[in-house]
Amino acid sequence: MQEAKQLGVSGWVRNLPDRRVEAVFEGTQQGVDAIVRWCHVGPPGAVVKEVTVEYEEPEGLQSFETRR
């Protein structure tokens, strides 16, 4: 969440029951590309095994939040 805000990216993130993380990012191509690159590493202590990217129509999100 902090990284997305620093990059000016809107969207949301949530943990799934199977220990995966789902996220939606919206912003400039540069910002979205940067946050996707960051997802391959993740925050300190994270173990990233795989990142899957799917492109969809923007929802017009204006902020970044954690969903439950």
Which residues is 12 bridged to in the sheet? 24, 65
Instruction: Share the mean pLDDT of the chain.
Output: 95
Residue ranges of domains in the chain:
2-66
Q: Tell me, what's the pLDDT at 1?
A: 85
Checking if the pLDDT of 63 tops 90, the result is: yes
Q: pLDDT by residue (tens digit) across 20-30? A: 999 999 999 99
The predicted model scores a pTM of 0.88
Q: Classify strands 10-15 and 64-66 as parallel, antiparallel or unpaired.
A: parallel
Q: Taking the domain 2-66, which CATH number applies?
A: 3.30.70.100
pLDDT at 31 over 90: yes
